[in-house]
Copies of this chain bind each other. A is one copy, B any other.
Amino acid sequence: MIQKYRFGTPFPTESVVKELEITAGTLPYLTVSEGDSLSFSYRMDADDAVYGLGQNVRGINKRGWLYRSKNCDEPSHTEEKNSLYATHNFLIVSGKHRTFGLFLDYSGIVSFDVGYTHLDTLVITPEDGNLDLYLIEEDSLLAIVKSFRGLIGKSYIPPKWAFGLSQSRWGYASEQDVREVARRYHENHLPLDSICLDIDYMERYKDFTVNQETFPDLPKLADDLKKEGIRLVPIIDAGVKIEEGYDVYEEGVREGYFCKRADGSNFVAGVWPGRVHFPDFLQPKARKWFGEKYQRLIDQGIEGFWNDMNEPSIFYSEEHLNEVFDEIDELKKQELDIDSFFHFQSIVSGINNNESDYRRFYHNVNGKMVRHDAIHNLYGYNMTRAAGESFLTRYPDKRLLIYSRSSCIGMHRYAGIWCGDNNSWWSHILLALQMMPSLNMVGILFCGSDIGGFLMNTTEDLSLRWHALGVFTPLMRNHSSRGTREQEPYQFDNIEMFRRVISVRYALLPYLYSEFMKAARNDGMYAMPLSFIYPEDPLACDVEDQMMIGESIMIAPVYRQNAAGRAVYLPERMKLYRFRGAESVTSEILEAGMHYLPVALDEVIFFVRPNHLVPCCKGADCVADLDESTLSLLGFVETEASYTLYHDDGFSREYDNPANFTTLTLSADGTKTASDDRITLL
């Protein structure tokens, strides 16, 4: 049951697709304070867990920290941060006595003090008093999620090739570089489905342009690679370069599609292209205009995109930069002491994404000028919605790939995300795992972290372990920054180890794709904490480094350097599968309880629940080449198990076509059946 409470006059975020009546009564459970500022507080039991808040730092249970919903380009995902790139104001308080979900439909900044100030107290404080609050109560955590997802609409589904491995690096500077990646992948027999183009491919970082010197024939490049099963996925940034003769810039100026200063002039920010204007994505017309521009690249053979810098990230504004320069001049006149020296350093380091800059520009919302900071968290969502709406209109029958850096609730209908600019840190493997379920809760199913780590130098063992987790994340992308150690699998000594790990992804795709599609269509979760499945098992509820992936399996990635293995908790008897490559598979049944299991660097392990199945296929060099007509049926069958396989052409949007669903069964005596006789079971 969902109840909707209204406070003040909320800004229409368009996060929700289902209009509910506003509940007249008072909000239960929470103490509402409506004095100087609105806040909601709740006294937590010692054992209450708090799940949610989407993309954020720290563990699965969010207790013990102060979070703040404010989208920011924050590449250093360390524990003391309060926000990352996205705002997902949904949480579930899960307790013995009371369990409920809360969604704040609100465009401003919200602080979530989840037992930070006082261990036992949750306090939610929006910046002002205008919001819709939804209280959701159901019989289970998954039912609360499902109910909430019904409110916000169905999740985006990418084309099937997007589930293949993607290779990216900021620094593929030319067509030759990109062809080299494809060549080395192939010559090393490493599967690959896409290569991302970071900002290098553009002409002076201008959206929807291609540098004709370094990428003289993008259509041919795209076409050649597609023949090898590899698609190109270019990046699109939020800011539009100010450059005379650049039509996107000129059209935007002419039509009034850019964000404005208070004086009506177009706001100027400094980002990768230098001076840019920000499209006013809150205007439906501007969205339509910008969304249509993607067609330029689609016309050149592109079928997937990533939207970046859309918090929006602001390296500097000229106004603020000049303020800083003036202040430096003043400081230079004095003899610097330590305080003024540190002040000098802090004003310079604080130029990026400076709060003052977000108060310098405005959006045109139905003719009314709304200052950016009031709707800041909606910006990235609406940029990506621009693309998503255009794709849906132009390609009603074909899925395109799109994922975004910034997001808020609602964006899951249009795109996936990647988890932003992480580091080549072991701790970020764990963070990548822990972020998945809270993203799934808000409908973002297509997601993944930059495998190997974006910033900092990676190591071979880190990369291998991260790929082994990546086998199970819907987006499996290896990405790194210019200036860091090169980290394509073929850059290392033990390429065959990478081949073994990556090939498992392809072998498991019948299962992983089925589970993704069912989660998307049924408002379910693809990645679930153990506490969602075994809520009565206190030990399972305490585990934060294992995850249920779909209905059949549990994973337990290794995320510690030099570890020969790891401790794993089994909430019930399960069957351990060890893959060393797609073809080398062993299994053993393990009893419930704690185990210490060795896991080699080139191994992928997972655990199958009793009476659950995992269909898998032989590997291939790309998703399109997978032979899914012949499946192996892994599983742990004590009596009988059946499984609903989802399979389609990978492109069309006819998700509910009954032909897409096949029932597979396996009985204890080994008898296998498939309801579709085009499928052979091994």
Contacts and interface: CB of A to CB of B under 8 A. Distances in A.
A43 interface: no
Interface stretch (A268-276, A370-378, A388-396, A436-444): A268-276
Contacts of A561: 58-59, 61, 63-65
Contacts of A596: 539, 569, 594
Interface in A346-384: 348-349, 351-352
Contact of A594 (B49, B116, B348, B594): B594
B562 A338 contact: no
A567 B494 CA distance: 32
A118 interface: yes
A63 B321 CA distance: 44
Contacts of A226: none
B562 A425 contact: no
Nearest to A272: B338
A349 B594 CA distance: 48
A80 B459 CA distance: 11
A596 B332 CA distance: 60
Contacts of A217: none
Contacts of A563: 542, 544
Interface string A417-458: 000000111110000000000000000000000000000110
Interface string A452-493: 000011011110000000000000000000000000000001
A247 interface: no
A79 B539 contact: no
Interface residues of A, number: 65
A565 interface: yes
A80 B493 contact: no
B325 A461 contact: no
A242 to B, nearest CB: 12
Interface string A311-347: 0000110000100010010001000111001101100
A78 B348 CA distance: 23
**How many copies of the chain does the oligomer comprise?**
2
A183 interface: no
A562 B59 contact: yes
A80 B425 contact: yes
A564 interface: yes
Contacts of A274: 337-338
Contact of A425 (B78, B341, B459, B594): B78
A498 to B, nearest CB: 13
B569 A567 contact: yes
Contacts of A457: 66, 80
A49 B338 contact: no
Interface in A58-79: 58-59, 61, 63-66, 78-79
Interface string A571-613: 0000000000000000000000011100000000000000000
Contact of A564 (B66, B119, B270, B542): B542
A343 B443 CA distance: 40
A567 B542 CA distance: 11
B349 A423 contact: no
A180 to B, nearest CB: 22
B336 A344 contact: no
A424 B81 CA distance: 11
A235 to B, nearest CB: 15
Interface in A282-305: none
Interface in A6-31: none
A80 B351 contact: no
A276 B461 CA distance: 45
A494 B351 contact: no
A538 interface: yes
Contacts of A348: 344-345, 348-349
B315 A341 contact: yes
A560 interface: yes
Nearest to A116: B459
A461 B596 CA distance: 28
A325 B321 contact: no
Contacts of A315: 338, 341-342
B351 A345 contact: yes
Contact of A338 (B61, B271, B425): B271
Contacts of A272: 338
Contacts of A273: 338
Interface string A535-569: 00011001010000000000000001111110101
Given A423-B79, A561-B64, A567-B594, A336 B59 contact: no
Contacts of A332: 325
A491 to B, nearest CB: 11
Contact of A59 (B344, B424, B560): B560
Contacts of A65: 459, 561
A137 to B, nearest CB: 23
A274 B202 CA distance: 48
A352 B345 CA distance: 10
Nearest to A80: B456
Contacts of A337: 274
Nearest to A271: B338
Contacts of A456: 79-80
Given A426-B79, A461-B64, A544 B560 contact: yes
A341 B272 CA distance: 10
Nearest to A342: B315
A91 to B, nearest CB: 14
Given A315-B338, A338-B315, A341-B316, A119 B49 contact: no
Contacts of A424: 79-80
Nearest to A62: B562
10 contacts: A63-B562, A119-B460, A315-B341, A316-B341, A328-B328, A345-B348, A539-B596, A544-B563, A569-B596, A594-B596
Interface of A: 49, 58-59, 61, 63-66, 78-80, 116, 118-120, 270-274, 315-316, 321, 325, 328, 332, 336-338, 341-342, 344-345, 348-349, 351-352, 423-427, 456-457, 459-462, 493-494, 538-539, 542, 544, 560-565, 567, 569, 594-596
Given A49-B562, A272-B338, 6 more contacts: A64-B461, A79-B425, A80-B456, A270-B338, A315-B342, A538-B564
A-B residue pairs, 4 tightest by C-beta: A80-B456, A567-B567, A348-B348, A594-B594
